[in-house]
Amino acid sequence: MRFPTPLVPGRLIRRYNRFLSDVALESGETVVAHCPNPGSMLGLKDPGLRVWLEPNDDPKRKLNYGWRLAELGGGHWSGIDTAVPNRVVREALEARAVPELAAYGTVRPEVKFGEKSRVDFLLRESGLPDAYVEVKNVHLRRAGDLAEFPDSVTARGAKHLRELAKMVAAGHRAVMFYLIQRTDCARFALADDIDPAYAAAYEAAAVAGVEMIAYGTRISPEGVWLGPAIAVEKRL
């Protein structure tokens, strides 16, 4: 997924009200940028962090900048926008670049399923069971090269797991796809201390036959793309 507009660098002053951030641009100007991330953003909102913004001149938008990336040091990056993973995964699915799902030729986004929910992608192919794919953005890292999910309590995430399990019971495939939107992680596990209820729902879904996969990303100021497969470890 390539950014449609060249990004501009700056330094984070503060992130507040969940969806707003103040950023000092290299020109010396201070701007308010939309923060497209309602999560806790642990380790990704420290003042002074070098960040990259996407400018826009759309009169329909209240803010002229959107926060897209954070530099992590050591040449590593993290994506900030929680809408990016679905776009990255869609590109990969349509290109048949995800080995576990490469047999499917039809990719339909945002399909109704379960109890008043929409699954991120419904995959179809003649002769194969339908595959229901839910995508989760991952950018929590607390130790070493371990990425964790979730970074805050997510009752909605637990509901998605239960609904995916029902799809398996109905004879379909169901896949929980964790996209690690940072480049300094090589492992993935659940942060069950943050949300024990989600961890319990994960265990139940796995037992029911929901497939759990994780992939990394390649990130630069030009865009975000699917990276290598990441091992899914047993929860801590």
Reply yes or no on whether the pLDDT at 234 is more than 70: no
In three-state form (DSSP H/G/I as H, E/B as E, the rest C), the secondary structure along 183-196 is CCCCEEEECCCCCH
Reply yes or no on whether the pLDDT at 114 is more than 90: no
Cβ 52 vs Cβ 81: under 8 Å: no
Average pLDDT over residues 214-227: 98
8-77, CATH topology level: OB fold (Dihydrolipoamide Acetyltransferase, E2P) (2.40.50)
Domain limits of the chain? 8-77, 84-232
Average pLDDT over residues 88-102: 98
* pLDDT at residue 236, as a whole number: 44
Q: What is the distance between the alpha carbons of residues 126 and 194, in angstroms, rounded to a whole number?
A: 41
Cβ 45 vs Cβ 15: under 8 Å: yes
Structure-token match 């993290």, residue found: 78
Phi, psi of 216, rounded to the nearest 5 degrees: -85, -175
DSSP code at position 39: S
pLDDT over 70 percentage in the chain: 99
Average pLDDT over residues 57-78: 93
Q: What is the distance between the alpha carbons of residues 30 and 209, in angstroms, rounded to a whole number?
A: 50
Q: What is the distance between the alpha carbons of residues 120 and 133, in angstroms, rounded to a whole number?
A: 6
Structure tokens at 122: 């419904």
Give pTM, 2 decimals: 0.94
What pLDDT, in 10s, does the model give residues 190-220?
999 999 999 999 999 999 999 999 999 999 9
Task: Tell whether domain 84-232 is in CATH 3.40.1350.60.
Answer: yes
